[in-house]
Structure 1
């Protein structure tokens, strides 16, 4: 085998170009191959005596045993190796036809076992991944349930508050109506009473106001101011009554300036 053939053999077996070059140089130094040509025009056909030689060279080049078995089997099928070896070699490879098949079958079985082992590991990893997803799902489910219960409680609280506000609004409205009715009655009473009193043209202002004769000027003034506020037209009061009260109020103030 020459250098070009050895280089092509190694490349076809999957050895990198740099490793192939180093191995060919070493084989050339050790006398395992001979130098022919060297112009780069390599022959594509392999000239190898038997499978033993192929196994030994591939092993010496650092190719793994399983890859060597597959490569040698292929070369033998392609006619690149003349015949199966006789088993007389130091590498430990079985090279007769029956043993070679057994070795190849063992390699295939090893590959199957390795594939099965990898598949089992992959399945285990997938199962762990699924368990993690299921755990996350359960966690998310619990959180959603808690949030749902919390929202239900908040809705119930809001409904109660709404009901309480509605009741308070009803009570306020009722109270407002009652106060309004009382105010209307009070205004009507003041209008009727004061109109009657105003026709009398009495100067007893405390009597007109329904106060005690012993009432002080401050009490009279305070009562007038209250009546003016209630009867003022801006507060939906009676303009005529307001006029009477305002007139008496002004007269009362004038009569008490000198005091």
Structure 2
């Protein structure tokens, strides 16, 4: 045992620092310890309990106190083995090889480790929630993009349909104007004709309005198809639905005339 280890033993026994220094010097002179210490704080291990007990007794420590200290040091792993309790140790004592103390985890260490495990689990849980949240946001953004594309497509179709409607309305107006022009010419040329009034109110087949052509339908289209197309145009151009009042008026006039021409009330 070196001087540092001897000094630590005395301090552990409750001996004052000054007394411990003097005792270590005496032990060194008496060759009870053979090596000087390095001056650094190092752990120490005694060979057996007999060595520890006799050294403490030599330093003036009471028997009861020495026994308690030796037992505690033995429990803490600072003494290698239990001595016989009979033989007195032979001096000089050999320096015991330093042996690391057995560090048994205390209750506090166990609690700290358990808390670390719980914190790690909570971190993993939070990461999982964040990942799920980010995934949900990504899906929501994707759905919004799809809806925007669908909306743009519908807006385009609506615009095309409105353009087609305007085109049909223009054709309808042109045909109506042409009809009025023809009627005006007939009125001017045949004012003195006795049969004028009857001819004006009963147009010949050659001057009958071609409703199917105005609506862009086939000449073979049925009356029901013509009525359906007129109803659709009336719904689109109705002012309550954001349509044009003038266009609605022209289409309604044609619609009523067509119904009258097929004797439909």
TM-score by structure 1 length?
0.49
TM-score by structure 2 length?
0.48
Q: Which has the higher contact order (CA 8 A, sep 6+)?
A: 2
